[in-house]
Amino acid sequence: MWQARPAASLVSSPPLWISLSFFGACRSQIEEQRLMSKIASLYYEEGLKQSEISTRLDLSQSFISRALRRALQEGVVKITVMRPQGLHLELESRLQSLYGIRQVIVVEATEPDNEESIKQAIGSAAAHYLETSLSAQDHIGISSWSSTIRAMVSHMHPQLGKQSAQEVVQLLGGVGNKGAFEATLLTQRLATLLNCPAFLLPSQSIEQSVESKQRIVEMEEVKEVLQRFDSITLAIVGIGELEPSQLLRNSGNYYTEDMLRVLAERGAVGDICLRYFDAQGKPVLEEDEEFVVSMGLPKLRSINRVLGLAGGVRKVQAIKGALLGGYLDVLITDLGTERGLE
């Protein structure tokens, strides 16, 4: 006689141990999430240190560290960086990658088309950079004929009660009588702010001939300062364009029109310490052709950290040449100039 099978036999039930294991795993996962969230809350919301959380929850510090890392990985914690208006981190990162430079800082001038406004914005950022990154062991070199560097110094605060550098060394002779005075004043002012000695370069920047330059650099007081170039760990430099400013033209101590023509014919686009380079950053004059008393470009490239300050669309080619020449480790420039460098 036919009999129906019991209904229970139509559905295959999992063994009891599998069910218990499944529900146990779920419970374990929930408890893990709960503990991870609690640790994250104590750390990020209440501001406790990992060691304090370890003590409070009776867990090892390595466990706390792993839990916080996992909380980030699994999305329990999401970190958002709120960027104030005027920050351009993506642009800075692109330039750093493009030119292989250590750091780029891009600032916005209050008046983007005004040269003085650009200089003040760059100078303010440079002052903050220097005050936060300077080591008391640094030997600073400064190309002291630069209005942008002058703006940086004007924005700096005195480092009261401590020596913030070993020395400040002038990297470029003065330009004319007024230039020599301003270069001396700027070098001494920075040294005073940092509570360290200043070493001034007692010469004009450009001599009348290679021979007169050679006589100058052999003078004991000049040679003593030039030898200090070997100890420089941080050089702060401006970047000039080929066409000199009216101030330089009127200084009475600058290249003649004939020499400027030679520089242009050789492809000069800009200078650092009045040492001119072409669009690829290569020096356009050999050392035995130079009239200038200053740090040379090969020596500049060997320094551990070179901070370049320059802005304004007229200087785009000069800044690009300095970057391609490998002379800069840190560049502070303005937004309008940055766009021309990409």
Ordered by where they begin, the domains of the chain are: 17-73 (1.10.10.60), 89-341 (3.40.50.1360)
DSSP-assigned states of every residue in 119-184? HHHHHHHHHHHHHHH--TT-EEEE----HHHHHHHHH----TTS---SEEEE-B-BSHHHHHHHHH
Among 187, 171, 181, 314, CA closest to 253: 181
User: pLDDT tens for residues 139-169?
Assistant: 999 998 788 999 999 999 887 778 899 999 9
Residue pointed to by tokens 């999401």: 78
Q: Which ranges of the chain have pLDDT less than 70? A: 1-27, 81-86, 175-181, 245-253
Query: Treating both helix axes as pointing N-terminal to C-terminal, what angle do 220-227 and 210-217 enclose, rounded to 10 degrees?
Result: 80
Residues 328, 340: Cα–Cα separation, whole Å: 17
pTM of the model: 0.77
Cβ(184)–Cβ(158) below 8 Å: no
Could you give phi then psi for residue 183, rounded to 5 degrees? -65, -45
The rounded distance, in Å, linking the Cα atoms of 104 and 241 is 20
C-alpha neighbours within 13 Å on the C-beta side of residue 142 = 31
Tokens of 312: 């304004």
State the Cα–Cα distance between residues 89 and 104, nearest whole angstrom: 9
**CA–CA gap between residue 26 and residue 199 (Å, rounded):** 72
pLDDT at residue 180 in the model: 58
- In this prediction, residue 171 carries a pLDDT of 96
Q: Please give the pLDDT value at position 276.
A: 96
Q: Considering only CA atoms, give the Rg of the chain.
A: 31
